[in-house]
Amino acid sequence: MGVDAGVTGKSACATQTCMIAAALLHPDVSPKVVDRFRASGVEIRIQDDLEDSSKLTVALIFGGDGTVHRHLAQLHQHKIPVLVVPTGSGNDFAKAMGIRSVEIALRAWQQFCADQKNVKEIDLGVIRGGSNETLFCCVAGVGMDADANARANRMSPWLKSRGGYVLAALQALIAFKPAEMKITAEGREIRQTAFFIAVGNALSYGGGMKVTPQATLDDGLLDICLVSKMNKLKLLCWVPTIFFGQHLRLKEVEYFQARQIAIEAERKLDIYADGDFAGQTPVEIRLIQRGLRVIVPT
């Protein structure tokens, strides 16, 4: 595990409580981005993970949704607050918390270092397939949108951050064959031939696509968007409206909330969560209420 034990000065331990922070960086993010946060007088160590967290007070993640996703299990386990600095291609999770830029993240960090009062507890989603469990913070998707995620992940970071997700969605729309799905939630059973089902803890994914536009991070509920089979040309025309949440107006779209949902399909379908592969159907998805502590702007 790589460690950079940089300290800005005596002020790091001059306060009543000496804080030590771990900085977790996406591989494409330069360590120089951490320098602006060192000015708050807290010892910041650049680390690969949170395996050795016994002395840590807080974590900073420099990256996008995928980077957050990869550290969720340890963040949940150790219960230390995390600040997400949006330096990835999508940054939907950071935006859901009101952190739309590095500057906003820096102000939230400075406030945390001053009084540690801007910490909020939010929900986490958890996907269970067989004996495997995967945590997610934003959206999990099965079907066409999982195919789109896989395609987007093969793109360069430059393209992904400049409309790559939309391009991937259009490619997936052409290639994907709708599947018979069975959804069980809150004692209700739905059987539909569908393009995809998205299960949201946050309202958007893919760089602002508001697939579950009514979702909030701390309401104790998952938001489910089921897009049934329709003419592909019709769906093609409606893809851009997902950025505004207007796809809910389609009669082929069913939208509801639940605390837990089970998804089966006529064939094995991939599931992606926060942009990463998270298994195949059948799966169960539920919430862990107040499962993550996050630093937010005020």
Domain residue limits, the chain: 4-122, 127-289
> Domain 127-289 carries which CATH code?
2.60.200.40
What average pLDDT does the segment 242-268 reach? 96
Q: Is the pLDDT of residue 1 over 50?
A: no
Q: Is the pLDDT of residue 15 over 70?
A: no
Residue 90 confidence class, pLDDT cut points 50, 70, 90? confident
Residue 145 CA, distance from chain mean position = 15
* Residue-level pLDDT at 17: 59
What average pLDDT does the segment 252-278 reach? 96
Residue 285 confidence class, pLDDT cut points 50, 70, 90? very high
What average pLDDT does the segment 181-186 reach? 95
What average pLDDT does the segment 3-14 reach? 41
Fold for the domain defined by 4-122: Rossmann fold (3.40.50)
* Residue-level pLDDT at 131: 83
199-215: pLDDT as tens digits: 999 999 988 899 999 99
42-55: pLDDT as tens digits: 999 999 999 888 88
| Tokens 């502590």 -> residue | 293
The share of the chain scoring above pLDDT 90, in percent, equals 78
Q: Is the pLDDT of residue 12 over 50?
A: no
* Residue-level pLDDT at 165: 79
Q: What is the pTM of this model?
A: 0.89
Instruction: Give the least confident one: 78-87, 156-165, 278-287.
Output: 156-165
Q: Is the pLDDT of residue 274 over 70?
A: yes
Residue 215, C-beta contacts closer than 8 angstroms, at least 6 positions apart: 200, 201, 202, 203, 222, 223
d(CA 73, CA 10): 33
Residue 18 confidence class, pLDDT cut points 50, 70, 90? confident
Q: Which of 124, 91, 115 is nearest to 105 (CA)?
A: 91
121-146 burial by CB neighbour count: b if 16+ within 10 A, else e? Answer: ebbbbbbbbeeeebbbbbbbbbbbbb
One fold for both 4-122 and 127-289? Answer: no
| Residue-by-residue DSSP string for 277-298 | EEEESSEEEEEEEEEEEEE---
d(CA 222, CA 58): 27
Q: Is the pLDDT of residue 160 over 50?
A: yes
Contact (CB, 8 A) for 34 and 86: no
Residue 264 confidence class, pLDDT cut points 50, 70, 90? very high
Q: Is the pLDDT of residue 40 over 80?
A: no
